[in-house]
Amino acid sequence: MAVTNSARPAHLRLLLLALGSIGLLVASFLTLRPSDEGPQRLARPRPLPSAEPASSAEPDSRALSLPSGATPHISCQDAQRVAAFLQRELAAPPIVPPASELGELWAGMLDPHGLWSAAPDSPLPGELSRAAPDMLSSLFDQSGACAGADQVAAAWQPWQQRSLAAYDAAFAAARTAAPRTVERLFQLVAEPIFEDDPVTRPALELAEELGTRIGAFVARFPDETALAEQARTRFFPTDRVELREIAILAALRAYVPLVDPHGDFAPNDEEWALYAGDDTLDDGSLLWGEVTRTALGARIVDAPTAPLQLDDLVLAIDGLDLAGASIDQIEQAARSEGEDGAFRVRVLRQGEPKPLTLRVASEASTETAGLEVEHIRYGADDQSVLRVVVPDVGDDLGEQLSDVLQRELPGAQALLLDLRGNGGGSLDAAVQSLGLLLPGAKLFPLVHRGQVSEVLQAPEPEFTYRGPVAALVDGDTASAAEMLAGALQAYDRGTLIGVRTFGKGCVQEYFDQVVNSGVLRMTTLQFVMPNGKPLQQIGLTPELLLPLAPASERESLITRQPITFDGPDVRDRKVGPGPAWPRPSSPPGPCLDPTVCSALSRLAGVRPGGVGGARAARPRAGTR
């Protein structure tokens, strides 16, 4: 998929099928990436009178914003508005989560540095646990006025003041000391200082170390006092009202994935967190491959973009100082629009006497990587099977697949779609792709709270393929990838081979106008297969099984998921089964992956729907 980081998705009423494993990763905010044209938009199938008005912006007209620099927070009223919208529009009626779970996640969401609630000497975990029942009531029932956040802020303020005093003392001592050499200063300020979970360093110790490092930087560069003040403000907010609203935001970010395991909320300054980890929505930073946070910003540890260099300490991007910013804000700044086609980046470089200001191009390549293909000998030397590896369901998969099939299929006897490890992507792209194999066929009923709102239908493109097809699947084949495989199975169009798939039959949408301060991802719809069989929590059972390694995660293992159900059989009776898989005159191969040759040997002569699990008894549905 062609991707540029300067494009932000049109979030409101954009339907996507997120990665099947996202629900297990809510605590670390892993998910979702904008493309050149933005993800494909699909009009909401059922009007919701209670929904907020739709955004009028086109997908490619809205870039990820450069963070403001302020510590993200939200009012109680806005947090309750988000929670109410979530409950009203969730695909299935929500289940109230335990207050104990909210309290536990709240502590993790609150602290981006290891200074506030995650450090072993912090008094806040106990306060958060005691305040959790009130915050749960404020969000789930919209009762009260977030008194639990007042309770947390009252305990937090003196702790912040104590930490700030430790920081100020260390800062003053380092600032008035003799300036360190350039080499020694770089070693000091560029070293990583923050811990990932679990945080073992006491917050007061970390505060002193931050003061020492930032003070030493200002001692060497007296003109950098504004950067130091920005860091101080971000690390140690002390205003009681601000602390209250920071706590409310953390509670909301903990609450949303507890009610909707595939849901999430992020403030505008950390919106990137919603797309991180999904290759269909985040193609990475244009500035670097990977960074590590330090007291003053982000040190590049992988794949710098020229003129940036490895180990450069990035102090600012387009005027935004990075000292004290969260990793989500830093990564979002590196994916923002840039000015005049370039980022202005300030760096401290080892061996340089003072910080440098560099211009780094922000225009991404529009070249598409394309799908991996393999022609596998199948019988005689002039006979072959075309294997197409589909790693994800990106927005332009239909176009990519059409190009590949037209270019590569002539002379091939059959098509094998390799969907192993494909975690899904765009619902619209899955439907467009199926038009190549099931032109015009009715596909997936979309369901909201037990009622069918629309039945998706495959398009009828100029080019279609009607020859033998099979799909190779595994336990990590999920969501939109299960749509591709499931439609082939439901229509007896092709044979599935592998092991039972992930079982994610729900759809997420993005809303950016519930409140002005953030973006909500939530599960709004479920879908069933064209023959009415459920997918959610069950998955697809291939007709032919292979001894593949079992998946470590499954949708049915995620708590508070929408329950599964049967749906209407919407199949077009005029769409007949696909042709049988050909029989080779000799063993197939060689194959780049031996599993593929095993699959081809099993497929020989098989007629779709004629064996195995296609008509097998349905497994019992999971529970919520």
pLDDT of amino acid 436: 98
Residue 52 has pLDDT above 80, yes or no: no
Neighbours of 198 (CB within 10 A): 8
Rounded CA separation 190/194 (Å): 12
Does residue 477 have a pLDDT over 80? yes
Q: Is the pLDDT higher at 622 or at 393?
A: 393
Question: 372-615: CATH homologous superfamily?
Answer: 2-enoyl-CoA Hydratase; Chain A, domain 1 (3.90.226.10)
User: Which residues make Cβ contacts (< 8 Å) with residue 173, sequence separation at least 6?
Assistant: 211, 212, 215
At 611 the pLDDT is 59
Q: What is the pLDDT of residue 99?
A: 96
Confidence class for position 560, pLDDT limits 50, 70, 90: confident
Q: What percent of the chain has pLDDT over 70?
A: 87
Does residue 58 carry a pLDDT above 60?
no
Encode pLDDT of 356-372 as tens digits: 999 999 876 555 678 99
The CATH code of the domain at 290-361 is 2.30.42
- Residue ranges of alpha helices (H) inside 200-239 are 203-220, 225-235
What separation, in Å, do the N-terminal and C-terminal C-alpha atoms of the chain show?
35
Strand partners, 348: 313
Q: Which part of the chain has CATH 2.30.42?
A: 290-361
CATH 3.90.226.10 in the chain is located at 372-615
Q: Rounded to the nearest 5°, which phi and psi values hold at 289?
A: -90, -40
- pTM recorded for the entire structure: 0.86
Point out the least confidently predicted range of 35-49, 251-265, 588-602. Answer: 35-49
Instruction: Quote the Cα angle for 240-101-152, to 5°.
Output: 15
Average pLDDT of 106-113?
94
Q: What is the pLDDT of residues 423-448, one digit of tens each?
A: 999 999 999 999 999 999 999 999 99
Q: What is the DSSP string of 284-341?
A: --SS-SEEEE-SSSEEEEE-PPTT--TT-EEEEETTEE-TT--HHHHHHHTTS--BTT
Report, as an integer, the average pLDDT of 44-71.
Answer: 51
Q: What pLDDT is stored for residue 424 in this prediction?
A: 93
Q: What is the pLDDT of residue 368?
A: 60
How confident is the prediction for the chain on average, in pLDDT? 86
Please write the tens of the pLDDT for every residue from 372-419: 999 999 988 889 999 999 999 999 999 999 999 999 999 899 999 999
pLDDT tens column, 495-549: 999 999 999 999 999 999 999 999 999 999 999 999 999 999 999 999 999 999 8
Count the neighbouring beta carbons within 10 Å of the beta carbon of residue 442.
18
Work out the average pLDDT over 168-197: 95
What pLDDT does residue 523 have?
Answer: 95
pLDDT given for residue 515 in this prediction: 95
19 close to 277: Cβ distance less than 8 angstroms:
yes
578-583 average pLDDT score: 95
CA distance 243 to 116: 11
Higher pLDDT, 495 or 4: 495
Scored b (16 or more CB within 10 A) or e, 278-296 reads: bbbbbbbbbbbeebebbbb
Q: What is the pLDDT of residues 312-323, one digit of tens each?
A: 999 999 999 999
Q: What is the pLDDT of residues 135-171, one digit of tens each?
A: 999 999 988 899 999 999 999 999 999 999 999 999 9
- Is the pLDDT at 16 greater than 80, yes or no? no
A 10 A CB-CB count for 68 gives 12
Q: Is the N-terminal amide bond of 125 cis, ω within 30° of 0? A: no
pLDDT, residue 18, reads: 42
**Region 110-131 average pLDDT:** 96
The partner residues of 239 in beta bridges, in order of sequence, read: none
Determine the 3-state secondary structure of 36 from DSSP.
coil
- Residue 443 has what pLDDT? 97
Amino acid 557: pLDDT: 82
Taking the C-alpha atoms of residue 517 and residue 269, their distance in angstroms, rounded to an integer, is: 9
The reported pLDDT for the residue numbered 484 is 98
Whole-number pLDDT of residue 364: 61
Query: From CA 120, how far away is CA 116, in angstroms rounded?
Result: 10
